[in-house]
Chains A and B, each alone.
Chain A
């Protein structure tokens, strides 16, 4: 771990003034030795620094900026979650459990009770992949500037089964799996307090587009909130995470389903897979299968199969396919 200075920002403006780099940029070859980066909960950043992957000169904490950890609800606008809202707060909020069950379930299953008290929503969205080659200082991988993906010929049991041709890492945010299923929007504040709102579907970046980062965030930007549209009458949701352990574990596979229902009939559904691809993966083939159908064993099974029809597993991760098929089926059946 390198030495760094620590600055406790009191406002978003101040934080933006002090910061000159994303964490992702510090991991790239030739990274600035004067990098100053944001820290919210610090969960991901600390691990990157400990491994010697990121060596920022300064850490700017946004943890104590007032007003960034609020949860509010507006009938028209929907649910607004400040970026500093902790995973614990999401997991224990009664309205979220009532109206946005899949998000509640994703937060409740994430990490450990201790980490959930520290980890923030913004940090969760901006975290880097847990691919063990990316996380190892001994492996100069595709995402860190070389042309090699070590996972493709190597130890890929936890890696991507779709869109894995350049880099087989999976995105590590299981909250994103749920948030994408809810069509959430991400509020980003830039220099001079300029606010833009981006659909979560446009937030993540595939390695084929830009290998150096996993989201569109720039150095002079801060995630300040996440907005989830208000739940329509018959909307139901469900999230399932499958890990090797029930306690704190990264998912082998996770799925969030958000569906507009008319009795058992599905008017439309979002089905999002986590730990399947380098980004949270919206499975359109699966969604097509259930659209306009009664949700039952048959249609739910078909949705799972459709989601996996084009999977391109690697040497050690084909077992994820039956798991995805199963949890997609089970998540859909949980709605009815």
Chain B
């Protein structure tokens, strides 16, 4: 491909901003200046779909109504481990209003045994596992029909608790070695590892490589060593909109309406399961009520809806209810992390060792990520991460998979190291953290928060003690080059942006409109964005904080191509050369004679054909893809938290949070703040409230609702201050990246560090409930018989 050299802004305004020359394809546009000099990009732009969302006209998957549509419901196992001896569905099939019944013949979730022998029915591996489904004229009739199904089980011993599953004679979930492909959500699953009992692994590497140096030598060199065991709970995703699809299987042409983070993923899964060409499967996701990582593929419910639609010849809507969502639709695996860190007196790290165990139930992906490996400079590093199988619903990618768990351990042990070294934890990070972006975030965040070297832990007066803490996050900057945008320009003045990429709810539609508007000198509302439909060019999945960095450069590249074509038309009309024309405020005008101008709609009306279509993708990162390096070009964040802890009741109130973040070139400040707010709130929920509780003796989740599974509500949400740091990396035509995941990583650790600073006792296990605070303060007398 022909290349050209351009100069792009590089670095952090107010700190080290400069210019850098990069070689880029000739088809891509010249560099944008920093945001300050732009009109639409980098501003607070109202969502283009805000009105539709707040007035209820936005159509979500559950809102889809098609002629003759049926409702699907699934029968779920009420015991956690069993062989199914027989299933009698005859009464359900004959029940008035029922049009189709389908029984699963394999388990389409979790990990797959390699020597999967042919069985009549897949084995039940967790309480709540779907066995079969029915489609009927209403949800009530479908549920009544399910009650008529007779299933004969042969019960087996089960284990639903990670500590029990680690015991020598624990019932075994999978008798053979198993594997599982990771989703586009970015869980790191190493293939081909062996299992012993319920324990699979260890995995010793990540995409940052394997172990480094010699940890034992590093510990021998250390002046101080800190060790600890950190535990995190299982968190379920709890999107407002549950998982679900509507499948319309019409003589081999299939339309799937899906609440999904990946229209292409659903399309690919559906085509594969039903042996159809991808071109026969159309997937539509207009609006999305949240995903957080668990909505990448078709899911077993989607497979079920496909079979029910195919059998009945009617469209089938199958939405999970809230209980199914908790039990079967994915979760953030728990973790037990044994961590050891060695340092010199000045803070320099000499060695780090991490051994972790986590359970994703019947699935894989319970590692604790790469954050310990990647965030700080430490010459000697080793981690061993084990998956533990339990008879519980499968985990799924969940907002920065692994790294939220990992950060809870890493950022607490670094905090503890600062206490041992008697150093300000902020200063310690200046020593051990080589990231430029986080350095600037520490400076600006500390200023906004008013951070001073924290007072001695537990030293405030009275029963309610104040404390402050900070924690950092690291997230790699991923891209997906298979990202394409089409722009269609019409003679009547319409400008449409089209891509299969879906808007997970963060405002992808709006940023696409902004980027195209900026390039064409228009306003956001001049642009119509039509996305979330696989009849358009394929876009990235909403996972790994990829979307913004993947799809906005193609949008700008396409808009640039459109602009070049329109400039030719305008130059002809204005009787000048193309290079003399600029676009601004909706006009094409002569640069040195702005009175000579044409409204853009007039330019469009002069097109030779009714419509003009341009399709563009993006090249590899300018300067080459940087994954694998630590520091610059990665997404950092630093969060500061203040809490009040009532030492008599154990009650914790998060008073305020200051979050300093970066995402390359910020595109829409309002939407970015909304995502960071969401990440912090979800992080506080993880720190203090959320916890999937399974009864060990029955294997059932006892809080599979939103009443007893505790989410934060309005009083739990603190004052949040956000400091956005522009960070130009000169990587693409927009130089933007996502922020969904970095927003969520540091919060729980920062809360835990603040709790320590408040009460002087460290709490090593999430969620930090009043019970744990009171126990840590030795205020709870244990039962005699314990």
Chain A residues within CB distance 8 Å of chain B: 1-3, 47, 112, 130, 132-133, 136, 138-139, 150, 153-155, 157, 242, 244-250, 252, 313-319, 321-323, 326-327
**Residues of chain B contacted by A133 (CB below 8 angstroms):** 695, 702
| CA gap between A3 and B771 in the complex, in Å | 41
Question: Could you say which of B696, B707, B712, B780 contacts A322, with CB atoms under 8 Å apart?
Answer: B780
Question: Is the beta-carbon distance between B770 and A246 smaller than 8 angstroms?
Answer: no
Question: Is the beta-carbon distance between A318 and B770 smaller than 8 angstroms?
Answer: no
8 closest residue pairs by CB, A with B: A247-B713, A246-B715, A319-B771, A132-B702, A326-B648, A247-B715, A322-B779, A138-B700
| B769-786 with Cβ < 8 A to chain A | 769-771, 774-775, 779-783, 786
CB distance from B465 to the nearest CB of A (A): 14
Closest A residue to B708 by CB, please name it.
A132
**Residues of chain A contacted by B144 (CB below 8 angstroms):** 2-3
**Residues of chain A contacted by B700 (CB below 8 angstroms):** 136, 138-139
Chain A interface, >50% SS class: loop
| A321 touching B697 in the complex, CB below 8 Å, given contacts A132-B702, A133-B702, A155-B702 | no
CB distance from A190 to the nearest CB of B (A): 33
| CA gap between A106 and B771 in the complex, in Å | 23
**Residues of chain A contacted by B433 (CB below 8 angstroms):** none
CB distance from A275 to the nearest CB of B (A): 13
**Residues of chain B contacted by A315 (CB below 8 angstroms):** 783, 786
Question: Is the beta-carbon distance between A244 and B769 smaller than 8 angstroms?
Answer: yes
| B247-281 with Cβ < 8 A to chain A | none
| CA gap between A89 and B713 in the complex, in Å | 22
| A157 touching B771 in the complex, CB below 8 Å, given contacts A1-B143, A246-B716 | yes
**Residues of chain A contacted by B770 (CB below 8 angstroms):** 242, 244, 252, 319, 323
Closest A residue to B775 by CB, please name it.
A319
Closest B residue to A314 by CB, please name it.
B783
Question: Is the beta-carbon distance between B649 and A130 smaller than 8 angstroms?
Answer: no
Question: Could you say which of A2, A245, A313, A321 contacts B710, with CB atoms under 8 Å apart?
Answer: A245
Question: Could you say which of B649, B695, B715, B771 contacts A154, with CB atoms under 8 Å apart?
Answer: B695
| B222-262 with Cβ < 8 A to chain A | none
Residue interface bits B689-719, CB-to-A below 8 A is 1, else 0: 1000101111010110001101011111000
Closest B residue to A252 by CB, please name it.
B770
CB distance from A54 to the nearest CB of B (A): 15
**Residues of chain A contacted by B697 (CB below 8 angstroms):** 150, 153-154
**Residues of chain A contacted by B771 (CB below 8 angstroms):** 157, 316-317, 319
CB distance from A117 to the nearest CB of B (A): 16
Question: Is the beta-carbon distance between A245 and B786 smaller than 8 angstroms?
Answer: no
**Would you mind naming 7 contact pairs between A and B with Cβ atoms under 8 Å apart?**
A112-B713, A138-B700, A150-B698, A242-B649, A250-B707, A318-B783, A319-B779
Closest B residue to A253 by CB, please name it.
B649
CB distance from A200 to the nearest CB of B (A): 26
12 additional contacts (CB under 8 A) given A1-B140, A244-B710, A323-B770: A112-B713, A130-B708, A132-B703, A154-B695, A242-B651, A245-B710, A246-B715, A250-B707, A250-B708, A318-B782, A319-B775, A322-B774
Question: Is the beta-carbon distance between B714 and A247 smaller than 8 angstroms?
Answer: yes
| CA gap between A247 and B715 in the complex, in Å | 5
Q: B190 contacts the other chain (Cβ, under 8 Å)?
A: no
Question: Is the beta-carbon distance between B695 and A155 smaller than 8 angstroms?
Answer: yes
Question: Could you say which of A245, A313, A321 contacts B713, with CB atoms under 8 Å apart?
Answer: A245
- Among B140, B713, B770, B783, find the residue whose CB has the most chain A CB atoms closer than 10 A: B770
Q: B78 contacts the other chain (Cβ, under 8 Å)?
A: yes
| CA gap between A319 and B648 in the complex, in Å | 10
Q: B127 contacts the other chain (Cβ, under 8 Å)?
A: yes
Question: Is the beta-carbon distance between A245 and B143 smaller than 8 angstroms?
Answer: no
Question: Is the beta-carbon distance between B649 and A326 smaller than 8 angstroms?
Answer: yes
Question: Is the beta-carbon distance between A248 and B713 smaller than 8 angstroms?
Answer: yes
| CA gap between A321 and B779 in the complex, in Å | 9
Q: B467 contacts the other chain (Cβ, under 8 Å)?
A: no
For the complex, count residues of B whose C-beta is within 8 A of A.
Answer: 39
| B617-653 with Cβ < 8 A to chain A | 648-651, 653
Question: Is the beta-carbon distance between A321 and B781 smaller than 8 angstroms?
Answer: yes
Residue interface bits B644-666, CB-to-A below 8 A is 1, else 0: 00001111010000000000000
Question: Is the beta-carbon distance between A138 and B127 smaller than 8 angstroms?
Answer: yes
**Residues of chain A contacted by B689 (CB below 8 angstroms):** 244-245
CB distance from A143 to the nearest CB of B (A): 15
| A3 touching B140 in the complex, CB below 8 Å, given contacts A155-B702, A157-B771, A316-B771 | yes
**Residues of chain A contacted by B775 (CB below 8 angstroms):** 319
- Among A3, A136, A153, A313, find the residue whose CB has the most chain B CB atoms closer than 10 A: A136
**Residues of chain B contacted by A317 (CB below 8 angstroms):** 771
Closest A residue to B717 by CB, please name it.
A247
Closest A residue to B703 by CB, please name it.
A132
**Residues of chain A contacted by B649 (CB below 8 angstroms):** 242, 322-323, 326-327
Question: Is the beta-carbon distance between A319 and B774 smaller than 8 angstroms?
Answer: yes
CB distance from A36 to the nearest CB of B (A): 19
Closest A residue to B128 by CB, please name it.
A138
Question: Is the beta-carbon distance between A321 and B780 smaller than 8 angstroms?
Answer: yes
CB distance from A162 to the nearest CB of B (A): 14
| B748-786 with Cβ < 8 A to chain A | 769-771, 774-775, 779-783, 786
Question: Is the beta-carbon distance between A136 and B702 smaller than 8 angstroms?
Answer: yes
| CA gap between A327 and B774 in the complex, in Å | 14
**Residues of chain A contacted by B712 (CB below 8 angstroms):** 245, 247
| CA gap between A322 and B78 in the complex, in Å | 38
**Residues of chain B contacted by A242 (CB below 8 angstroms):** 649, 651, 770
| CA gap between A323 and B771 in the complex, in Å | 9
| CA gap between A278 and B611 in the complex, in Å | 73
**Residues of chain A contacted by B703 (CB below 8 angstroms):** 132
- Among A242, A247, A313, A316, find the residue whose CB has the most chain B CB atoms closer than 10 A: A247
CB distance from A310 to the nearest CB of B (A): 13
| A150 touching B695 in the complex, CB below 8 Å, given contacts A246-B715, A319-B650 | yes
| CA gap between A21 and B310 in the complex, in Å | 44
**Residues of chain A contacted by B710 (CB below 8 angstroms):** 244-245, 249
CB distance from A304 to the nearest CB of B (A): 10
| CA gap between A247 and B140 in the complex, in Å | 33
CB distance from B15 to the nearest CB of A (A): 40
CB distance from B762 to the nearest CB of A (A): 18
**Residues of chain B contacted by A319 (CB below 8 angstroms):** 650, 770-771, 774-775, 779-780
**Residues of chain B contacted by A321 (CB below 8 angstroms):** 780-781
Question: Is the beta-carbon distance between B698 and A139 smaller than 8 angstroms?
Answer: yes
| CA gap between A150 and B689 in the complex, in Å | 23
Closest A residue to B693 by CB, please name it.
A155
CB distance from B78 to the nearest CB of A (A): 6
CB distance from B453 to the nearest CB of A (A): 31
| CA gap between A322 and B715 in the complex, in Å | 24
**Residues of chain B contacted by A323 (CB below 8 angstroms):** 648-650, 770, 774
**Residues of chain B contacted by A247 (CB below 8 angstroms):** 712-716
- Among B127, B693, B695, find the residue whose CB has the most chain A CB atoms closer than 10 A: B695
**Residues of chain A contacted by B714 (CB below 8 angstroms):** 247
**Residues of chain B contacted by A112 (CB below 8 angstroms):** 713
**Residues of chain B contacted by A47 (CB below 8 angstroms):** 707
Closest B residue to A154 by CB, please name it.
B695
Question: Is the beta-carbon distance between B780 and A318 smaller than 8 angstroms?
Answer: yes
CB distance from B684 to the nearest CB of A (A): 11
**Residues of chain B contacted by A250 (CB below 8 angstroms):** 707-708
| CA gap between A81 and B750 in the complex, in Å | 48
Closest A residue to B323 by CB, please name it.
A51
| CA gap between A323 and B688 in the complex, in Å | 17
| CA gap between A326 and B779 in the complex, in Å | 11
- Among A244, A249, A250, A318, find the residue whose CB has the most chain B CB atoms closer than 10 A: A244
| CA gap between A157 and B716 in the complex, in Å | 21
Residue interface bits B136-180, CB-to-A below 8 A is 1, else 0: 000010011000000000000000000000000000000000000
- Among B688, B689, B774, find the residue whose CB has the most chain A CB atoms closer than 10 A: B774
| CA gap between A164 and B326 in the complex, in Å | 29
| CA gap between A112 and B782 in the complex, in Å | 34
**Residues of chain A contacted by B713 (CB below 8 angstroms):** 112, 245, 247-248
Question: Could you say which of A138, A154, A318 contacts B78, with CB atoms under 8 Å apart?
Answer: A138
